[in-house]
Chain A
Amino acid sequence: MSVSEHHVASDTSHEQAPESSEKTHFGFQQVDKNAKASMVAEVFQSVAAKYDIMNDVMSMGIHRLWKRFTIDCSGARAGHKVLDLAGGTGDLTAKFSRIVGDTGEVVLADINDAMLRVGRDKLRDKGIVSNVKYVQANAEALPFPDNSFDIITIAFGLRNVTDKDKALASMYRVLKPGGRLLVLEFSKPTSEVLNKVYDAYSFHLLPKIGELVANDGDSYKYLAESIRMHPEQDVLKDMMQEAGFEQVTYHNLTGGIVALHRGFKF
Chain B
Amino acid sequence: MLVGQLISAGVELTLNQLLQLDPDCKPRLKKLAGKQLQVTINELPWTLLFTFSEQIDVSALQQNQQQLPADAAADCHITLGLSTLSELSDSSKISQLIQQGKLDLDGDIDVAQGFSNLMKELDIDWEEQLSKYTGDVVAHQTFSSVKALFNTAQQEVEKLADQLSAHLTKPEAVAVSEIEVADFCDQVNHLRSASDRLEARIDHLIASQQDDQ
> Interface of A with B (CB < 8 Å)?
62, 64-66, 68-69, 71-73, 75, 77-78, 95, 98-99, 101-103, 127, 178, 247, 249, 251-254, 264
Contacts and interface: CB of A to CB of B under 8 A. Distances in A.
Q: Kindly state the interface size class of chain B when it binds its partner.
A: 20 to 34
A103 B2 contact: no
Q: Give 10 closest A-B pairs by Cβ, nearest first.
A: A98-B53, A75-B71, A68-B5, A65-B5, A72-B59, A65-B2, A101-B34, A75-B70, A78-B34, A99-B51
Nearest to B3: A65
Interface string B29-51: 00001101000000000000101
A211 to B, nearest CB: 29
A75 B68 CA distance: 8
A103 B34 contact: yes
A95 B57 contact: yes
B53 A65 contact: no
A239 B191 CA distance: 89
B54 interface: yes
Give the residue among A65, A72, A102 with the most B Cβ atoms within 10 A. A72
A251 B1 contact: yes
B34 to A, nearest CB: 5
Interface of B: 1-2, 4-6, 8-9, 33-34, 36, 49, 51, 53-55, 57, 59-62, 65-68, 70-71, 73
Contacts of B61: 72
B179 to A, nearest CB: 62
B76 to A, nearest CB: 13
B129 to A, nearest CB: 22
Given A68-B9, A72-B4, A75-B68, 7 more contacts: A72-B49, A72-B62, A73-B65, A75-B67, A99-B53, A101-B33, A103-B34
A65 B51 contact: no
| A65, A178, A264, most chain B CB atoms within 10 A | A65
A264 B69 CA distance: 13
Contacts of A127: 54
Contact of A69 (B2, B34, B53, B54): B2
A146 B53 CA distance: 30
Contacts of B65: 73
Contacts of A99: 51, 53, 57
Contacts of B71: 75
B2 A98 contact: no
Contact of B2 (A78, A249, A254): A254
A73 B53 CA distance: 20
A65 B6 contact: yes
